Amino acid sequence: MGRIFEVRKSTMFARWDRMAKAFTRIGKEIAIAVKAGGPDPDNNPALRRCIQNAKGVNMPKDRVDAAIKRAMGKDKTDYEEVVYEGYAPHGVAVMIDTATDNTTRTVANLRMHFTKGGGSLGNSGSVGFLFNRVGEFKVKNAGQDLEELELELIDFGLEEIGEDSEGNIIIRAAFNEFGNMSKALESKGMEVISAELKRIPTTTVELNEEQAKEVLELIDKLEQDDDVQQVFHNLR
């Protein structure tokens, strides 16, 4: 009984940690979007996307509203979006999207994570060529015919379409077509659960279980860093 409770408690805390991290990440995205395009989501597509993503992770509306107000206040934090690149153990390429108010701190922390994890922080361009940047949309499946939807979206930059394990429709568009695809989905009245820019590896590295564990431990440490928004890698 005691052990089962401990396992459940550990699982619960892990879920809370993931939620807290997701809320922090979206809060920073909201701050950046408001700074760039203002606080009105009707006139700010980037902010509208942030609000969609907030709903997708069940972020309470009052926290979203508070993040928007903070972004307009005198004491707002100015975040800079910076991309870092490096190698995890066994030659696995890693790209890290950050939003930071102190790049000196961010670089120091990332270098520490890489060093402790048996990897190395690289220079700009060291692994970027191994990834394609795309827009990825998760859309509520309302019984749409995927083949028909594919034909409808091909002119808006569609590159891939499919379903995830929960039956949602996953749509990938070229990076420079992100805005067009977003408008197309809105005009069709489709319920967008999330809309994000992602980095998809063009080649992957396959490792044994023990080696993969080393890589994933480093990825986990990077993802937990407060300045890190997203981590991408080419481990298969």
Render pLDDT for 41-77 as a digit per residue (tens, 0 to 9): 999 999 999 999 999 999 999 999 999 999 999 888 9
* Correct CATH for 79-235 of 3.40.640.10, 3.30.70.980, 3.40.50.2300, 3.50.50.60: 3.30.70.980
Strand order across the beta sheet in which 80-87 lies: 120-121, 80-87, 93-100, 228-233
Per the structure block, which two tokens stand in for 119? 């990897």
Prediction pTM value: 0.88
Contact 180, 158 (CB under 8 A): no
Topology (CATH) of 3-72: Arc Repressor Mutant, subunit A (1.10.10)
Give the per-residue pLDDT at 18: 77
Render pLDDT for 158-173 as a digit per residue (tens, 0 to 9): 999 999 999 999 999 9
Q: How far apart are CA 88 and CA 72, in angstroms?
A: 38
Report whether pLDDT(1) > 80: no
Average pLDDT, the chain: 92
Report whether pLDDT(4) > 50: no
Cα-Cα end-to-end distance for the chain:
38
Which residues are registered as beta bridge partners of 136? Answer: 172, 196
DSSP string, 63-81: HHHHHHHHHHSTT----EE
Q: How confident is the model at residue 17 (pLDDT cuts 50, 70, 90)?
A: low
* Inter-CA distances, 143 with 91, 118, 140, 163, Å: 42, 47, 9, 12
Report whether pLDDT(38) > 50: yes
Q: How far apart are CA 157 and CA 176, in angstroms?
A: 8
Q: What is the mean pLDDT of residues 176-203?
A: 95
**Is residue 212 exposed (0-12), middle (13-18) or buried (19+ Cβ within 10 Å)?**
middle
Percent of the chain past pLDDT 90, that is, above it, reads 90
Q: What is the mean pLDDT of residues 101-125?
A: 98
CB atoms within 10 A of CB 94: 28
Give the per-residue pLDDT at 75: 85
Q: What residues contact 49, with CB distance under 8 A and at least 6 apart?
A: 33, 182, 195
The residue extents of the domains of the chain are 3-72, 79-235
Contact 98, 227 (CB under 8 A): yes
